[in-house]
Amino acid sequence: MKLLRSLLFLSLGFVTVLYAHGITVSKSGLTSGAAVASAATITPSGNSFHVTGVTTITAITVLAADTKICAIFDGILTVTDNNTTLNTAGNFVTTADDILCLVSDGTNWRESSRSVN
């Protein structure tokens, strides 16, 4: 009962919004998470999320296989390809509104795309 009271569901046409921990869930099952502060290791808060701050990112907490994430950067920082758990097409120096999309194989992240805006 306590869990039910902590969640509020609101259906808006094609989108169902779940207000719990700042997460929005669409019918596709993808989530939009809260902003994540940059740090040496970050943990995704949803399938898409903003990254704030300027600290270099050298690792991202690995999630279940086939999880797809897109990080939207609010400023300038470097995402370092560590050649182990974070495999990108090389280091990525971001600017505001750049996007880095990754796919998890359950052990590592692999870059699927990046957008320099």
61 and 95, same domain (yes or no): yes
Total number of domains in the chain: 2
Separation CA 62–CA 82 (nearest Å): 13
- Same domain assignment for residues 43 and 95: yes
Encoded tokens for 56: 């270099």
For residue 29, the model assigns a pLDDT of: 64
Question: In this predicted model, what pLDDT tens digit does every residue of 5-52 receive, in sequence order?
Answer: 333 333 333 333 333 444 444 445 678 999 999 999 999 999 999 999
The answer for residues whose C-beta is within 8 angstroms of residue 80's C-beta and 6 or more apart is 56, 57, 58, 86, 91
More confident call, 74 vs 22: 74
**60 and 14 housed in the same domain:** no
Q: 4 phi and psi, to 5 degrees?
A: -60, -35
Question: Could you tell me which of 73, 60, 71, 72 has the C-alpha nearest to residue 104?
Answer: 60
Say if residue 9 is in the same domain as residue 28. Answer: yes
Tell me, yes or no, whether 28 and 43 share the same domain.
no
Residue 45's identity, in one-letter code, is: S
What's the predicted TM-score (pTM) here? 0.76
Asked whether the predicted pLDDT for residue 87 surpasses 80, the reply is yes
Residues 65 and 17 in one domain: no
Q: What percent of the chain is predicted at pLDDT more than 90?
A: 72
Residues 98, 41: one domain?
A: yes
Q: Pick the closest to residue 46 from 13, 17, 75 (CA basis).
A: 17
pLDDT at 90 over 80: yes
58 and 89 housed in the same domain: yes
Range of the domain at 15: 1-32
C-alpha 23/C-alpha 30 separation (Å) is 10
| Average pLDDT across the chain, whole number | 82
Q: Same structural domain for residues 56 and 79?
A: yes
